[in-house]
Structure 1
Amino acid sequence: MSATLVRLVTFTDLNVEHSSVGHSSARQLSVDARLEAELSDGRRVVLLDDRGWTMSAGGADIRAFLTVEDIEADARTVVGPDEPVDGQTHAEAAAGHWGALAAILARQGVTVSGPELERARHDVELSPRLRDWIS
Protein backbone atom coordinates (compact mmCIF):
# COMPACT_ATOMS: atom_id res chain seq x y z
CA MET A 1 0.00 0.00 0.00
CA SER A 2 1.38 3.39 -0.93
CA ALA A 3 1.58 6.34 1.40
CA THR A 4 -1.23 8.87 1.48
CA LEU A 5 -1.33 12.52 2.44
CA VAL A 6 -2.11 13.17 6.10
CA ARG A 7 -1.74 16.95 6.14
CA LEU A 8 0.24 19.92 4.91
CA VAL A 9 2.54 21.61 7.41
CA THR A 10 4.20 24.98 7.04
CA PHE A 11 7.18 25.40 9.33
CA THR A 12 8.05 28.99 10.17
CA ASP A 13 11.24 30.31 11.69
CA LEU A 14 12.77 33.66 12.44
CA ASN A 15 15.12 34.75 9.68
CA VAL A 16 17.93 36.00 11.91
CA GLU A 17 19.75 37.48 8.95
CA HIS A 18 17.04 40.12 8.60
CA SER A 19 15.42 40.44 12.05
CA SER A 20 16.34 42.34 15.17
CA VAL A 21 16.62 39.36 17.50
CA GLY A 22 16.87 40.32 21.13
CA HIS A 23 16.21 44.02 20.68
CA SER A 24 13.62 45.44 23.07
CA SER A 25 11.97 47.57 20.40
CA ALA A 26 12.01 45.36 17.32
CA ARG A 27 10.44 47.19 14.39
CA GLN A 28 10.92 44.50 11.77
CA LEU A 29 10.26 40.79 11.49
CA SER A 30 11.48 38.48 8.75
CA VAL A 31 10.15 34.91 8.62
CA ASP A 32 11.19 31.87 6.57
CA ALA A 33 8.46 29.38 5.61
CA ARG A 34 8.83 25.77 4.42
CA LEU A 35 5.81 23.78 3.19
CA GLU A 36 5.89 20.01 3.68
CA ALA A 37 3.48 17.16 3.07
CA GLU A 38 3.19 14.74 5.98
CA LEU A 39 2.50 11.22 4.75
CA SER A 40 0.80 8.21 6.33
CA ASP A 41 4.09 6.25 6.41
CA GLY A 42 5.72 8.98 8.53
CA ARG A 43 7.70 10.59 5.72
CA ARG A 44 7.67 14.31 5.12
CA VAL A 45 8.17 15.66 1.63
CA VAL A 46 9.35 19.24 1.15
CA LEU A 47 7.08 20.98 -1.34
CA LEU A 48 8.35 24.57 -1.05
CA ASP A 49 11.42 25.83 0.77
CA ASP A 50 11.90 29.25 -0.78
CA ARG A 51 9.09 31.22 0.81
CA GLY A 52 8.92 33.85 3.52
CA TRP A 53 8.01 37.44 4.28
CA THR A 54 9.09 40.56 6.11
CA MET A 55 6.94 43.04 7.99
CA SER A 56 7.73 46.25 9.79
CA ALA A 57 5.92 48.54 12.18
CA GLY A 58 7.49 51.90 11.45
CA GLY A 59 8.64 53.23 14.80
CA ALA A 60 6.59 50.86 16.94
CA ASP A 61 7.53 47.52 18.48
CA ILE A 62 5.95 45.02 16.11
CA ARG A 63 5.45 42.52 18.94
CA ALA A 64 2.95 44.88 20.56
CA PHE A 65 0.30 43.86 18.02
CA LEU A 66 1.59 40.70 16.30
CA THR A 67 -0.09 37.42 17.26
CA VAL A 68 0.58 33.75 16.58
CA GLU A 69 -2.63 33.76 14.53
CA ASP A 70 -1.18 36.54 12.34
CA ILE A 71 1.92 34.44 11.68
CA GLU A 72 -0.21 31.38 10.88
CA ALA A 73 -2.38 33.31 8.42
CA ASP A 74 0.61 34.91 6.68
CA ALA A 75 2.37 31.53 6.46
CA ARG A 76 -0.60 29.93 4.72
CA THR A 77 -0.74 32.85 2.31
CA VAL A 78 2.93 32.81 1.30
CA VAL A 79 2.97 29.07 0.56
CA GLY A 80 -0.34 29.27 -1.28
CA PRO A 81 -0.91 30.16 -4.90
CA ASP A 82 0.86 33.22 -6.24
CA GLU A 83 -1.03 36.03 -7.92
CA PRO A 84 -2.11 35.31 -11.50
CA VAL A 85 0.28 36.33 -14.28
CA ASP A 86 -0.04 36.95 -18.00
CA GLY A 87 -3.82 36.99 -18.17
CA GLN A 88 -4.38 34.01 -15.88
CA THR A 89 -7.43 33.92 -13.67
CA HIS A 90 -7.09 33.32 -9.93
CA ALA A 91 -8.58 29.86 -10.48
CA GLU A 92 -5.99 29.04 -13.15
CA ALA A 93 -3.12 30.25 -10.97
CA ALA A 94 -4.41 28.17 -8.05
CA ALA A 95 -4.87 25.07 -10.21
CA GLY A 96 -1.32 25.45 -11.52
CA HIS A 97 0.08 25.85 -8.01
CA TRP A 98 -1.69 22.85 -6.51
CA GLY A 99 -0.98 20.78 -9.62
CA ALA A 100 2.75 21.52 -9.37
CA LEU A 101 2.76 20.44 -5.72
CA ALA A 102 0.84 17.26 -6.61
CA ALA A 103 3.52 16.53 -9.24
CA ILE A 104 6.26 16.79 -6.58
CA LEU A 105 4.39 14.23 -4.49
CA ALA A 106 3.81 11.98 -7.52
CA ARG A 107 7.59 11.80 -8.01
CA GLN A 108 7.73 10.44 -4.45
CA GLY A 109 5.10 7.79 -5.20
CA VAL A 110 2.19 9.64 -3.61
CA THR A 111 -0.98 9.94 -5.66
CA VAL A 112 -2.95 13.06 -4.75
CA SER A 113 -4.71 15.58 -6.96
CA GLY A 114 -4.29 19.33 -6.91
CA PRO A 115 -7.86 19.86 -5.63
CA GLU A 116 -7.24 17.32 -2.84
CA LEU A 117 -4.12 19.22 -1.79
CA GLU A 118 -6.03 22.49 -1.82
CA ARG A 119 -8.64 21.01 0.55
CA ALA A 120 -6.14 19.23 2.80
CA ARG A 121 -5.65 20.08 6.45
CA HIS A 122 -2.91 22.72 6.64
CA ASP A 123 -1.21 23.32 9.96
CA VAL A 124 1.41 25.94 10.74
CA GLU A 125 4.19 25.30 13.23
CA LEU A 126 6.26 28.13 14.69
CA SER A 127 9.83 27.39 15.72
CA PRO A 128 10.63 27.87 19.41
CA ARG A 129 12.87 30.79 18.40
CA LEU A 130 10.00 32.54 16.60
CA ARG A 131 7.56 31.87 19.48
CA ASP A 132 10.06 33.32 21.95
CA TRP A 133 10.58 36.38 19.75
CA ILE A 134 6.85 37.08 19.56
CA SER A 135 6.22 36.72 23.31
Structure 2
Amino acid sequence: MKATRLVTIADLDYNSSNKGRISVTARLAVVLDTGRDVLLLDDRGWSSTATWSEASEEDIRETALVVVGPDEPSGDQTEEDMAADYWEYLGEILERQDLDIDPAELRELPHEVRLSQRLLKRIGAATGTATHEDQGLTIRQSRLNP
Protein backbone atom coordinates (compact mmCIF):
# COMPACT_ATOMS: atom_id res chain seq x y z
CA MET A 1 0.00 0.00 0.00
CA LYS A 2 1.10 3.48 -0.79
CA ALA A 3 0.13 6.80 0.81
CA THR A 4 -1.38 9.31 -1.63
CA ARG A 5 -2.19 12.35 0.52
CA LEU A 6 -2.82 13.70 3.99
CA VAL A 7 -6.28 14.96 4.90
CA THR A 8 -7.25 17.10 7.85
CA ILE A 9 -10.93 17.30 8.71
CA ALA A 10 -11.96 20.40 10.65
CA ASP A 11 -15.28 20.22 12.50
CA LEU A 12 -17.22 22.06 15.18
CA ASP A 13 -16.04 21.38 18.71
CA TYR A 14 -19.24 20.39 20.49
CA ASN A 15 -17.43 20.24 23.84
CA SER A 16 -16.86 23.97 23.83
CA SER A 17 -18.60 25.80 26.65
CA ASN A 18 -19.11 29.00 24.62
CA LYS A 19 -21.01 28.19 21.43
CA GLY A 20 -20.69 31.79 20.20
CA ARG A 21 -16.89 31.62 20.01
CA ILE A 22 -14.84 29.81 17.38
CA SER A 23 -13.97 26.31 18.59
CA VAL A 24 -12.82 23.65 16.12
CA THR A 25 -11.53 20.07 16.24
CA ALA A 26 -9.02 18.76 13.70
CA ARG A 27 -8.35 15.14 12.75
CA LEU A 28 -5.42 14.14 10.54
CA ALA A 29 -5.50 11.03 8.36
CA VAL A 30 -3.41 9.56 5.57
CA VAL A 31 -5.22 8.31 2.46
CA LEU A 32 -3.87 5.12 0.91
CA ASP A 33 -3.94 4.20 -2.77
CA THR A 34 -6.68 1.68 -1.90
CA GLY A 35 -8.90 4.62 -0.90
CA ARG A 36 -8.69 3.69 2.78
CA ASP A 37 -8.19 6.51 5.32
CA VAL A 38 -5.95 5.78 8.29
CA LEU A 39 -6.38 8.07 11.28
CA LEU A 40 -3.15 9.58 12.56
CA LEU A 41 -4.23 12.28 15.02
CA ASP A 42 -7.63 12.89 16.58
CA ASP A 43 -6.68 15.00 19.59
CA ARG A 44 -6.12 18.38 17.93
CA GLY A 45 -8.16 21.54 17.82
CA TRP A 46 -8.35 25.14 18.98
CA SER A 47 -10.61 27.77 20.42
CA SER A 48 -10.54 31.50 19.90
CA THR A 49 -11.94 34.59 21.53
CA ALA A 50 -13.26 35.54 18.08
CA THR A 51 -16.92 34.94 17.30
CA TRP A 52 -18.22 32.85 14.42
CA SER A 53 -19.20 36.05 12.56
CA GLU A 54 -15.45 36.79 12.34
CA ALA A 55 -14.59 33.33 10.97
CA SER A 56 -13.54 32.59 7.42
CA GLU A 57 -13.06 29.28 5.66
CA GLU A 58 -9.54 30.28 4.67
CA ASP A 59 -8.52 31.13 8.24
CA ILE A 60 -9.98 27.86 9.54
CA ARG A 61 -8.07 25.88 6.89
CA GLU A 62 -4.78 27.66 7.61
CA THR A 63 -5.14 27.22 11.37
CA ALA A 64 -6.04 23.54 10.95
CA LEU A 65 -2.73 22.95 9.14
CA VAL A 66 -0.79 24.58 11.95
CA VAL A 67 -2.71 22.71 14.67
CA VAL A 68 -2.09 19.24 13.25
CA GLY A 69 1.66 19.92 13.28
CA PRO A 70 4.53 19.82 13.35
CA ASP A 71 4.86 21.98 16.45
CA GLU A 72 7.05 25.04 16.70
CA PRO A 73 10.55 24.43 18.09
CA SER A 74 11.16 24.85 21.79
CA GLY A 75 14.29 24.99 23.87
CA ASP A 76 17.34 24.06 21.87
CA GLN A 77 15.44 22.19 19.15
CA THR A 78 15.43 23.59 15.64
CA GLU A 79 12.43 23.70 13.34
CA GLU A 80 13.97 20.83 11.38
CA ASP A 81 14.42 18.78 14.59
CA MET A 82 10.76 19.27 15.49
CA ALA A 83 9.63 18.38 11.99
CA ALA A 84 11.78 15.23 11.89
CA ASP A 85 10.42 14.11 15.28
CA TYR A 86 6.86 14.78 14.11
CA TRP A 87 7.15 12.75 10.91
CA GLU A 88 8.84 9.91 12.81
CA TYR A 89 5.96 9.94 15.31
CA LEU A 90 3.39 9.70 12.49
CA GLY A 91 5.40 6.85 10.97
CA GLU A 92 5.27 5.03 14.31
CA ILE A 93 1.49 5.44 14.46
CA LEU A 94 1.25 3.80 11.04
CA GLU A 95 3.68 1.06 12.05
CA ARG A 96 1.44 0.17 15.02
CA GLN A 97 -1.30 -0.36 12.44
CA ASP A 98 0.95 -2.68 10.40
CA LEU A 99 1.59 -0.09 7.71
CA ASP A 100 5.14 0.54 6.58
CA ILE A 101 5.17 4.08 5.19
CA ASP A 102 8.42 5.98 5.39
CA PRO A 103 8.22 9.28 7.32
CA ALA A 104 10.10 11.03 4.48
CA GLU A 105 7.35 9.87 2.10
CA LEU A 106 4.65 11.22 4.42
CA ARG A 107 6.41 14.56 4.60
CA GLU A 108 6.22 15.01 0.83
CA LEU A 109 2.51 14.25 0.45
CA PRO A 110 0.02 16.92 -0.54
CA HIS A 111 -2.11 17.97 2.43
CA GLU A 112 -5.81 18.64 1.94
CA VAL A 113 -7.96 20.40 4.52
CA ARG A 114 -11.70 19.75 4.51
CA LEU A 115 -14.30 21.59 6.52
CA SER A 116 -17.26 19.54 7.72
CA GLN A 117 -20.70 20.50 6.48
CA ARG A 118 -21.65 21.46 10.07
CA LEU A 119 -18.68 23.81 10.26
CA LEU A 120 -19.46 25.34 6.88
CA LYS A 121 -23.07 25.88 7.95
CA ARG A 122 -21.98 27.57 11.20
CA ILE A 123 -19.64 29.92 9.33
CA GLY A 124 -22.28 30.65 6.69
CA ALA A 125 -25.03 31.28 9.24
CA ALA A 126 -22.84 33.57 11.33
CA THR A 127 -21.44 35.56 8.41
CA GLY A 128 -24.56 35.53 6.23
CA THR A 129 -22.72 33.87 3.35
CA ALA A 130 -23.44 30.73 1.39
CA THR A 131 -21.16 27.75 2.00
CA HIS A 132 -18.95 26.40 -0.75
CA GLU A 133 -19.77 23.12 -2.43
CA ASP A 134 -16.11 22.22 -2.96
CA GLN A 135 -14.79 22.22 0.58
CA GLY A 136 -11.40 20.64 -0.10
CA LEU A 137 -8.20 22.62 -0.60
CA THR A 138 -4.84 21.10 -1.41
CA ILE A 139 -1.94 22.89 0.22
CA ARG A 140 1.75 22.21 0.41
CA GLN A 141 3.33 24.35 3.08
CA SER A 142 7.00 25.19 3.03
CA ARG A 143 6.90 25.05 6.85
CA LEU A 144 6.17 21.33 6.58
CA ASN A 145 8.76 20.75 3.88
CA PRO A 146 11.82 22.88 4.69
**Same-fold status (TM-score > 0.5):** yes
Structure 1 residues 17 and 106 mapped into 2: Cα distance closer, same or farther (>3 Å)? closer
Matched residues in 2 for 1:20 and 1:85: separation?
Answer: 31
**Larger Rg, first or second structure (1 or 2):** 1
* Cα deviation code 1:33-87 (max 9, x no counterpart): 1101111122211111100001122xxx442x42111111111110011122342
Tell me the residue number matched to 2:16: 18
| Shift in Å, 1:116 | 2.1
Matched residues in 2 for 1:48 and 1:17: separation?
Answer: 18
From 2, 5, 13, give the equivalent of 2:3: 5
Structure 2 unaligned residues grouped into runs of 5+: 125-146
Residue 42 of structure 2 is aligned to residue 49 of structure 1: yes
Tell me the residue number matched to 1:90: 79
Q: How many aligned positions are there?
A: 124
The alignment's C-alpha RMSD in Å is 1.7
Matched residues in 2 for 1:19 and 1:131: separation?
Answer: 20
Matched residues in 1 for 2:5 and 2:79: separation?
Answer: 24
Structure 1 vs Structure 2: percent identity of aligned residues? 44
- Where relative contact order (Cα < 8 A, 6+ residues apart) is larger, the structure is 1
Structure 1 unaligned residues grouped into runs of 5+: none
TM-score, length of structure 2 as denominator length? 0.77
Matched residues in 1 for 2:17 and 2:63: separation?
Answer: 17
Matched residues in 1 for 2:47 and 2:26: separation?
Answer: 11
Aligned partner letter, 2:33: S
